[in-house]
Every structure is written in structure tokens, then in C-alpha cells.
Structure 1
Amino acid sequence: MNKNILDDATQKYIDANLNADVNKIVLAKSSFEKVSSVELAQQISAKKKVQKKLPTWYNTPKIYYPAPLSIEQTSSEVTAKYKSKLAKGNILIDITGGFGVDVYYFAQEIKKVTHVEYNKDLSQIAEYNASILNVKNISFYAGDGIEYLKTTSKSFDTIYVDPARRADSGKVFMLKDCTPDVVSNLDLLLSKSSRIIIKTAPLLDISAGLSELRNVSEIHIVSVKNECKELLWVIDSNTSEEIKLQAVTINDTEKTFSFLQHESNISATFIESVSPLDYLYEPDAALLKSGAFN
């Protein structure tokens, strides 16, 4: 983290060049002795990416942005705000903290939040931004989240994990192939908390996820403007009820369609006497992903 980027003159330059060609900025000589052209281009590119995705960050002066990949992988504000309502208790740990968007919203609901991030630079950036955003109930630790859980004597009311879906061979989609491997470490997670929230990519097949996990009590399928964004798997150590699926559509308003797992197998009944009308109505992406219309 190059703190010289936060100087007033550098920040003014970044804001003035949000619509500039970053490729030209990379090739040109930097106007600042202690900030390279590549760093300037990275800050400009990242800030442009968050304008709609993270408006709170975009509209807050002197936010420090990480590499573009971290911005791509982070939750949007609307989905982070939704998942914050799923946390329970007073103490939460995010063992894959990243840029810190999720913990920012968890901190609005939970008294004590811990952000663990393997990338030391990203951990430092998230901690700095939290101070700029005036959030004071988050503690930060740079290191491996699974190793942190293995060595700490603490327990938590909720553990949140967003496994990385990239490997040396490219993107992966099975949970066991992600980092950290929540499948192999599920016993550890449940020994530290009775409630686990796992975020996965929407491409993960629900039946495949259920075959890898246990103690799943809820699956939240979240879409924003008819684009399926994420699956949220809620694991409760004491669950004995049937799995509830919740298709959540976030547009100008938020709507939820809930049903139990066995209800997805109920066949639809068609009324033969109804003639075709003028329109074909397609369910929202979250509803389609949930399997409610199979």
C-alpha cells in the first residue's frame, strides 16, 4: 500500500482522470515522484469499476483501491447488505475478508467483527478504508483464515467465508476445489461456530453443493436486476428441519420467494381451457436457479 497515493494532489489527479484512457496513463510519465503511472492507472480503473457497485466507497474521499481482481471478486453493496441480515449473535469472523465490503455491512448488525485476509496488502487496505468509513467495531488480522481458526481459542456466533473460485488452471466451481476448502474444513468451522454462511458463485449446481455440504438449513439465491449474483449457504450445527430455499430478487425493491426443498418436485397443474395470451412471462433469474420452476 503506497500511502503517497492518498496525497491531496494525487487524489485530485485521480478524480480528474476517471474518464481518461488508462492505457495512455500507464505509458506516460507519472506527474508524481513517489507514485508510478501503473499505480495511478490502477486507482483510476478500480474507482471507475466501483461507481455503481460500491457507491459508498466511490463517494467517500481518499478511499484506497486494490488490484482490479479484488474489485471484481468483492460483493456489491446491495448483496452485502442483504447477507448481513443472515448473521446471528454478537461476534462474527470473516475468514476471507478481501476488500472488506461484507464486513462493513456485517459491522452494522454485529457488535464485534473480525476481518481475516491472507493478502497482507489487501488486509492493510481494508483496515485503512474502514477507518475512513468510520467503522470502529472491526478488528483486522493478516493471515490464513483456516490457520487462524485452528490456533485461536475464540469461538464465534457466525463464521462467514467466501472461497476463492480461481486456481492455477483457471476458475473452479466445485466447493472442494475452492480456497479455502470448506468441505474438508467443515468440522473445524462447526467447532468454532454453530452458524456458517458460505458464499458461492451462482454457477454452482445446488444439488452438487448439497452433496458436498451437511447441516444446510437455508440456501439463498440472490439476483440483482434479474442477474443471479450469488448463492448463500447457511449451515446450522443443530438444524433438523428441511432445507428452505429463498429466491431473493433485488431491483428497486427486494422480494423473496421461499419454499421447502421437497416442494420443488411438485408438478405444475395446467388448465387446458385457457387459451394462449399475448405474453410469455419468464421468472426472475433467482427463481429459475432455485429450481422452483423445473
Structure 2
Amino acid sequence: MNKRILDKDVQQFIKENREKSPSAIALKKSPFLDVSSSELATQIDGWQRSVRKLPTWAFSSPIYYPDKINLEQCSSEHTALVKQTLIKKGARVVDITGGFGVDSCYMAQEAEVVIHCELNAKLSEIVRQNAIELGVSNLICIATDGVAYIHQQKDDALDYIYIDPSRRVNHAKVFLLEDCEPNIVELQDGFLKKSHTIISKLSPLLDLTAAIQKLRHIKRIYVISVDGDCKELLFVQERDYQGDAVVSTIRIFQDQLQSHTFTIQEEKVTLTRASDPLTYLYDPDVSITKAGAFKTIAKRFDLYKLHQHTHLYTANDIKDHFPGRIFQIQQVYTLSNFKKENKISQANVATKNFPVKVEDIRKKFKIKDGGKDFLYFTTDMTGNHIVIHGYRVR
């Protein structure tokens, strides 16, 4: 870590040039003897990434940005705020996979102390420096193996262990929970002796059902999306908990938060009603579909499903606070009628429970992407393929 980067003259240069291309900065000669052009480019690139992901940090000065990979892997400000709500006041927390420290810093605003464990000594030093600048005085950074640190603690020494397992092992992506590092499946029993609660941040690509089978004492599961993109799964395990897991979907969209809470058992036993398309079409957010809340969301908002396996819904009125997109239906075609009658040359095309891919539909019907029209190719309650044309109202 080059602390000269934090000096006023260097920070002023970064501020004046932060809208410029980092690669262009890297190719120019640095105006500073002890700060290279590549270091300046890294800071400018970091700021540009943080404007979208960590806006509060981006406009806090000065922040020292690490390598690009560390910024790509860290949580966003929105998702870190969700984790902050899970921490009780005055708790003792250990983040065993610290990284850039975003989650640690936000959890520290509730906890008595957060121990940030990070094997990369340079990154650990960066997090320590940033915590000072951000006024997070109860964050303790230790350049160590977090798993080893936990094993060294006495039983019941901690309130929370926070883990963000790496989905890259030996430079290759892994998709099974037990293949991630650290292996929380293998470690969970030992960790629950040291801490009452484990919070694990897992990949949105993870099979939810498989994770439920492999992790014990799951009390809560959070499925978090930001602006239509499923960002992460949070599993909260509590020692000795034996009840049904409660699942909360959290949709963060245009700085607003919508949630839907249900239990896995409730989803299994809930009955739904089917209908032909009515006045409005409802397309649930990705957090709902990832969580598998296909029936409970229909019950909560008094919606009809188009088909048992078509995760689209319909109603004659607008349901406020529905976590997803709402469309006013203009026309419903059978697939054969759409072939004959279609005059739409540009539209946003989507498929749900339909055998043909979007790109093939565009090619076949010569439909360009974009515009205000939406076309849903799907299956109705009687099993027929239909096309729903609508305009978005929410």
C-alpha cells in the first residue's frame, strides 16, 4: 500500500481526473515521483466502479481503492445495509473472509466490535486505513486465516461469524457449496460451538434446495436482488434451531425496497387459481423466482396464475407494492394468430414456460429489440401457446 496516494495533492489529481479513462491515465507519465501512473489509474478505476456500487464511499474522501478483482467481489452498499440489519446491538462479529471490508464496515455500525480477517496483508492494510477515514473505530483488521482464527477462539466467544466463501478455487469457478473456500458444510458444526449464529453470503447461482439440505439449523434465508439482478443469497444459521426456515425475498429497485416473506412449508401447501389473461399481467422479480415463491406471491396479492408452470400472473386491478413488473394487456394472440396478424416490428420480447428461445423468436418474426411494446410468449391455463402484448405501467 502506497500511503502517498492519500496525500492531498494526489487526491486532488484523482478528483480532477476521475471521469477520464483509467487506461489513458495509465499510459501517461505520472506527475508524482512516488506514485506511478498505474497506481493513479487503479484509484480512478476504483472510484468509477464505486460510484455505482458504493456511492457513499465514492464521495467520502479519501478512500484507498484496491485491485479491480477485490472491488468486483465485494458487496454493494445496498446489500451491505441488509446485512447490517441482521446484527444485534453490541454484538461481537468475526468476518472470516474480509475482502475489501464493505460488509464489515456496515456491520460494525451495529456491533460492539468486528474482527476483519484477510489473508492478503496489503488488502488488510487498505481496509484498516479506510476504516480510519470512514470513522469506523470498532473494526479490527487482522492479516490472518479467518478459519484458523475461529478455531483459536473459546466456545461461545462470538455472537456472529460472517462468511463469504470464494466461488473461485485454483482460478476455476465452482458451483457446489462444498467446493467453495472455506467449506462451510464441513466447518458449520465447529463454528456453531464458537458462535451462536453463522451468516453466509452465497452465490445467486447456488441451488437453493441443495444448500438447504447441506446446511443445518437454518433459521432465515434472504434472496436479494438489486435493479432486477439477483445479487446474493444470505443463509442465517442459529445453533440448535430446528424449525422451518423463513425465506425473505428483498427487491431493491430504484432505491426502494420491497419484501415478501414465507416459509418453505407454506409454499408447498398453498393453492393457486388459474385464469386466462385479464386486464393486467404481473411478472415477478428475480428474487421471487429464485426463492421459489410462486404460489405464496399469488396468494398474498390475490393473483391468478396463467398456468401451473407459467410463473406469470394476472388480475383485473393493479396491486400496489407487487415486487416485479406490471403490464396493461393490449392483446392476447394464439401463436398461430400471431403469425398471421403480427404487425409489431420492435418490442421487448420475453418467454415464460415456452419452448423457443428469445433470439429465435426475434429472428422468426423479425422483431427488433426495444421500444415501448412488450411481448410475452408463454403457455396459458389450457396448455396452449399464446402471445401477450402489453405496455408497462409499473
How large is the RMSD of aligned CA atoms in angstroms?
Answer: 1.6
Partner of 2:93: 92
Partner of 1:187: 189
Spell out the pairing of 1:258-269 with structure 2 (5 A cutoff). 258-266=261-269, 268-269=271-272
Q: 249, 256, 267: which one pairs with 1:253?
A: 256
**TM-aligned CA distance change 1:271 to 1:161, over 3 Å:** closer
| Number of equivalenced pairs | 292
Partner of 2:32: 32
Letter in 1 for 2:158: F
Q: Within 1, Cα distance between the matches of 2:190 and 2:251?
A: 33
Partner SS for 1:12: helix
Q: Within 1, Cα distance between the matches of 2:270 and 2:60?
A: 50
Letter in 2 for 1:7: D
Partner of 2:226: 224
Q: Within 1, Cα distance between the matches of 2:17 and 2:118?
A: 31
Q: Within 1, Cα distance between the matches of 2:240 and 2:187?
A: 18
Shift of 1:271: 4.8
Spell out the pairing of 1:57-96 with structure 2 (5 A cutoff). 57-88=57-88, 90-96=91-97
Q: Within 2, Cα distance between the matches of 1:23 and 1:85?
A: 39
Shift of 1:170: 2.1
TM-score scaled by structure 2? Answer: 0.71
Q: Within 2, Cα distance between the matches of 1:20 and 1:253?
A: 31
Letter in 1 for 2:229: E
Which stretch shifts more, 211-220 or 41-50?
211-220
Which stretch shifts more, 84-93 or 60-69?
84-93
Partner of 1:290: 291
Q: Within 2, Cα distance between the matches of 1:146 and 1:267?
A: 41
Partner SS for 2:185: coil
Letter in 2 for 1:196: I
**TM-aligned CA distance change 1:269 to 1:150, over 3 Å:** closer
Q: Within 2, Cα distance between the matches of 1:113 and 1:123?
A: 13
Q: Name segments (4+ residues, structure 1) moved above 6 Å.
A: none
Shift of 1:267: 5.5
2:199 is the counterpart of 1:178: no
**TM-aligned CA distance change 1:45 to 1:271, over 3 Å:** closer
Partner of 1:7: 7
Shift of 1:173: 2.1
Q: Which has the higher contact order (CA 8 A, sep 6+)?
A: 1
Letter in 1 for 2:37: S
Letter in 2 for 1:215: H
Q: Within 2, Cα distance between the matches of 1:73 and 1:139?
A: 21
Check conservation: 2:153, 2:194, Cα contact below 8 A. no
- Between the aligned residues of both structures, percent identity stands at 43
Letter in 2 for 1:123: S
Spell out the pairing of 1:205-220 with structure 2 (5 A cutoff). 205-220=207-222
Shift of 1:14: 1.1
Partner SS for 2:94: strand
Partner SS for 2:283: coil
Q: CA deviation digits over 1:141-183, x for unaligned, max 9?
A: 1110001111233710111111111122422222211111111
Partner of 1:47: 47
